[in-house]
Chains A and B, each alone.
Chain A
Amino acid sequence: MSIDDIRNASDATLVVSIGRYHQEALAEAYRRHAGAVFALSRRLLVERALAEEVVQEVFLRLWHHPEKFDPDRGSLRSYLLAQTHGRAVDLLRSEVSRRAREQRDAAATAEGGYDLEHAVVDLAVAEEVRAALESLSPGERRAIELAYFGGHTYREVASLLDEPEGTVKSRIRTGLRRLRGALIDAGIGAP
């Protein structure tokens, strides 16, 4: 594949090419998605060095195990971001970075708790996504933001918001569904 072919290739084709050990294909996947991967990992982990480590891990994993990506189950970007989220949350929950998290939570509390998460989300996401988020009930929105961007379990979210665990659990699910509906209505994401 020439560089131009790679630039025009679909993500699925890139992954097949990565399976054939074409570094240019990995470079192109990196060019397309590493920005989002880094942004998510940075938002979760705050500490730049840790966030960079996650980016590195995620792309090395794609290089060594391209077969783990199944194009029938979603886009390459959502696959990479799910990997990123999982890894970042692992780090976040591990003993080593507990300290960093406490510091971050302290800072967040000082600046108004989850409102900080709100602010970050508002700055970061596209206008359509922001509008879709507005379609959620405040409870759903907080639960999703604290879980996804805060890296909290639903039990932790329940305790942070002082709400029953079962309520938070189902709010995350119904909120995600509603969000998807709103995004489809806004023309983002495939039905």
Chain B
Amino acid sequence: MSQTSHQDIQELLGAFALDAVDDDERDLVEAHLAGCPRCRAEVATHRETAALLAHGGDRAPEGIWARITENLEEAPPAIDLAPMSSLETARHRRSRRSISLRAAAAMGAVAAAVTAFFGWRIGVQDQRLDRVAAEFHELAAKDGLRRAATAALSAPDAEQVRLASFDGRTGVHVVRLPNGTGFAVADGLAALPADRTYQLWALREDAKISLGLLGRDPDVAPFQMVGPVLGFAITDEVAGGVKETGQSPVVLGFTELGQKGQDTRPTA
């Protein structure tokens, strides 16, 4: 099979998607797929169809979960294999959270915190976030993300923050859903040299928390951040990002909570 045409490969795609090809054919198809989006799409479609055939499973087997968690890095959460919890409980939690948010807003510490961008300590979760930041940047190039971000921007319960440069000319939109999933639509930022990257930060009263690297020429980037945030900022850093920044933000914006803090800030 030294000379394999595109058509020969196409003929194999159904069998390939069902793992029904020999090893040498599999290698051949995989090599082809790397450079052929159309065939990749066909394989994805076949797998989607096959997944519907396999739809026979009911409840998740419980014993295996315990073994999986033994191999994870931290203590396992309790898993409840029963169906969804009631809406009632969900509402309960949500209202409780918004109360604690208001309580946080009332604290004087919040007001003081937004007065300075520099010198905040970095969040503990940071090393982990940076480990996956590169992967998220790769994802950020994709259309799916832009669609997701657009949907989030139109969600009524989303937190929306416009980050602006000091001259007000560059704008970035940050949107965060109640579940903590957020997007930075940062395609307005000018491309940086190859050895630099933009880095997104959440501003909390006692720390700047890195939400990930946006790359040198950002588009739409997802992030995950729960809990109250005073604002968001983007800095220009060395490629690979930093744990703690000494840079002045390229763009900066405050959440409603952060703005409240600024309003009540004693004027110097």
Interface residues of A (CB under 8 A from B): 1-9, 12-13, 16-17, 19-24, 26-27, 30-40, 43, 52, 55-56, 59-60, 63, 66-67, 70-75, 77-79, 81-82, 85-86, 89, 121, 123-126, 129, 133, 144, 147-149, 151-155, 157, 166, 169-170, 172-177, 179-180, 183, 188-189
Contacts and interface: CB of A to CB of B under 8 A. Distances in A.
A9 B178 CA distance: 10
A56 B44 contact: no
Interface stretch (B110-118, B136-144, B248-256): B136-144
Contacts of A2: 93, 97, 226
A37 B57 contact: yes
A4 B72 contact: no
Contacts of B11: 166, 169-170, 173
Nearest to A168: B15
Nearest to B96: A2
The size class of the interface chain B forms with chain A is: 35 or more
Contacts of A4: 85, 89-90, 93-94
Interface of B: 10-15, 17-22, 40-41, 44-61, 63-65, 67-69, 71-74, 76-77, 79-81, 84-85, 89-90, 93-94, 97, 125, 128-129, 132, 135-136, 138-139, 142-144, 148, 178-181, 222, 224, 226
Looking at chain A's contact residues, is the secondary structure mostly helix, strand, loop, or mixed? helix
A125 B50 CA distance: 11
A72 B128 contact: no
A82 to B, nearest CB: 5
B14 A173 contact: yes
Contact of A82 (B15, B50, B68): B50
A81 B51 contact: yes
A23 B76 CA distance: 7
A175 B14 contact: yes
A169 B15 contact: yes
Contact of B47 (A19, A71, A82, A177): A82
B93 A148 contact: no
Contacts of A1: 179-180, 224, 226
Nearest to B15: A154
Contact of B54 (A39, A63, A70, A172): A39
Given A67-B135, A75-B51, A52 B63 contact: yes
B127 to A, nearest CB: 10
Given A36-B55, A38-B64, 12 more contacts: A4-B85, A19-B132, A26-B68, A39-B56, A56-B68, A56-B71, A66-B135, A74-B48, A124-B55, A125-B55, A174-B14, A175-B14
A72 B142 contact: yes
A105 to B, nearest CB: 16
B181 A9 contact: yes
A81 B19 CA distance: 12
A71 B139 CA distance: 9
A13 B74 CA distance: 21
A49 B121 CA distance: 48
A30 B128 contact: no
A59 B224 CA distance: 21
A36 B72 CA distance: 22
- For the complex of A and B, the 7 pairs showing the least CB-CB separation, nearest first, are A173-B14, A124-B56, A35-B57, A36-B57, A34-B60, A78-B51, A39-B57
